[in-house]
Amino acid sequence: MDNTEASASIAGYGYQFERALYRIFHSSHRDALFGIETTDDVEEVIPTATGTISIQEQDKLTLSGKNPLQDSSKNLWNTFKNWLEKLEQSQATHEEINFILVTNGVVGSNSLVHLLSAASSPKDVEHAIKTLRTHALTMDGATAEIAAKVTAFDDESIAYVVGRFEVIHKHESASITDAMYAALQLPEGLDEHKKVILDSLTGHLFNMARETWRRREPFWTTSLPLFNRKQLLFEKFLSEAWTARSQDETEYRELIALNQELNLPFIFQLKELGLMERTIEKELGHYWAGYAERSRLLLKGKVLPEHFNELENTLHGRWDSLREAYSNLKGIPFEDFSGDDHKQIYISTTTPEKFTIEIGRLKSDHRYLYLGTYHHQANDDGTDHPILWHQVKGEGK
């Protein structure tokens, strides 16, 4: 069954929350209050030194592409009727009230609503009121009844609303979204998560309102809960953005299969140490996983070559310190190390309590990235900080 009317109603309700979030993140008033379904669809109340300013907003979404604010539109006349009926109470509460009518439709430059919105000077407002009253006489049916209630108000009341009225048209959800992305000021590295972040903020606003309405209370909020939520989302996604993949998420198996014939120096050295075959196979996996992740991070710009250079310098220093300590403990110069001596250094270097490393802003506890970087250095291929797992006779590094 096709319930188009219900779909349109739900879409309009969603549009209202989009606009509420838009107002929250575009307001320049830190202590402003924002309401949904209070005096109007969306309302912003701004405190001043002498009172408050209320910005009352009506939102009209059309799914047909037609102008929902035509001269004969019940939407248009009913909006002005509601504003005028609440005007006395609003003026008693606030020192100033502004009125906004927002639609995703296109409003013609010759339309009544455009004339009313453009009226700013007393002369323009006077002309707009006369035009409003004239148009009211041409209405028929239910719209005529609403228009008659509008024109029953005195000129002073109508002038107050018209003089502070603005229509915003062609305000599509897509343009709201783009404006929200700009207002959120996403940090570098979060652009790919912007839709999830915005959806989460919209959902958070809806949940806040729903919980309040369940208590049968009017919904009001400041911008603070939404800005706090935004910051939490930033921190969450920034943390994820600077986290290395697990070994199984890398392409290490494919790389092993593609490079079976490649003679890697570090593998030769590990064999010289007499490591078990299963251990060597694991280290081969660590090497290619590290290679894959290094390549990905550099390609995406998550880290720079100098960040890996800094890491390799740190790892070289650790390896060299362990080697120096062992040399002094045993009283054996480096050049006289036996295979067993090198094996002890290898084991000490590759079995820390934790495999924590930092590569620029990225932090990792993955064993493969730690060991894969060391094996890259043992290959002495494009590194400024080479190491060795086993020393070829005659080499005194």
Quick check: 346 and 273 in contact, CB under 8 A? Answer: yes
Residue 237, pLDDT above cutoff 90: no
Say if residue 19 is in the same domain as residue 146.
yes
Say if residue 291 is in the same domain as residue 322.
yes
User: Can you give the pTM of this predicted structure?
Assistant: 0.67
Count of the separate structural domains present in the chain:
2
Please say which residue of 185, 219, 241 terminates a domain.
Answer: 241
Say if residue 79 is in the same domain as residue 184.
yes
Q: Say if 88 falls within a structural domain.
A: yes
Q: Say if 149 falls within a structural domain.
A: yes
Say if residue 215 is in the same domain as residue 285.
no
Q: Estimate the crossing angle of helix 339-350 against helix 367-379, to 10 degrees.
A: 140
CA angle 163, 22, 71 (to 5 degrees): 40
Say if residue 185 is in the same domain as residue 296.
no
Q: Say if 397 falls within a structural domain.
A: no
Say if residue 144 is in the same domain as residue 256.
no
Q: What's the pLDDT at 235?
A: 83
Say if residue 149 is in the same domain as residue 56.
yes
d(CA 43, CA 38): 7
Which backbone phi and psi does 231 adopt, to 5 degrees? -65, -40
Say if residue 112 is in the same domain as residue 194.
yes
Residue 238, pLDDT above cutoff 80: no
Say if residue 189 is in the same domain as residue 205.
yes
Residue 394 pLDDT class (50, 70, 90 cuts): very low
Using one digit for the tens of pLDDT, what is the confidence trace for 278-330?
999 999 999 999 999 999 999 877 789 999 999 999 999 999 999 999 999 99
Which backbone phi and psi does 370 adopt, to 5 degrees? -65, -55
Q: Say if 355 falls within a structural domain.
A: yes
Residue 354 pLDDT class (50, 70, 90 cuts): very high
Q: Estimate the crossing angle of helix 194-214 against helix 173-184, to 10 degrees.
A: 100
pLDDT, average across residues 153-163: 97
User: What mean pLDDT, rounded, does the chain reach?
Assistant: 92
Q: Say if 339 falls within a structural domain.
A: yes
Q: Say if 395 falls within a structural domain.
A: no
Say if residue 255 is in the same domain as residue 234.
no
Q: What's the pLDDT at 395?
A: 47
pLDDT, average across residues 258-273: 95
Residues spanned by the domain of 348: 247-379
pLDDT, average across residues 220-237: 93
Burial of 326 (0-12, 13-18, 19+ CB in 10 A): middle
Q: Say if 394 falls within a structural domain.
A: no
Q: What is each CA distance from 254 to 249, 258, 292, 367, in whole angstroms?
A: 12, 6, 10, 19
Please say which residue of 226, 241, 256 terminates a domain.
Answer: 241
Using one digit for the tens of pLDDT, what is the confidence trace for 80-101?
999 999 999 999 999 999 999 9
Say if residue 211 is in the same domain as residue 92.
yes
Structure-model confidence comparison of residues 11 and 251, the more confident one: 251
Q: Say if 393 falls within a structural domain.
A: no
Say if residue 109 is in the same domain as residue 215.
yes
Q: What's the pLDDT at 392?
A: 62
- Cβ-based neighbours of 186, under 8 Å, separated by 6 or more: 194, 197, 234
Quick check: 40 and 57 in contact, CB under 8 A? Answer: yes
Please say which residue of 203, 221, 241 terminates a domain.
Answer: 241
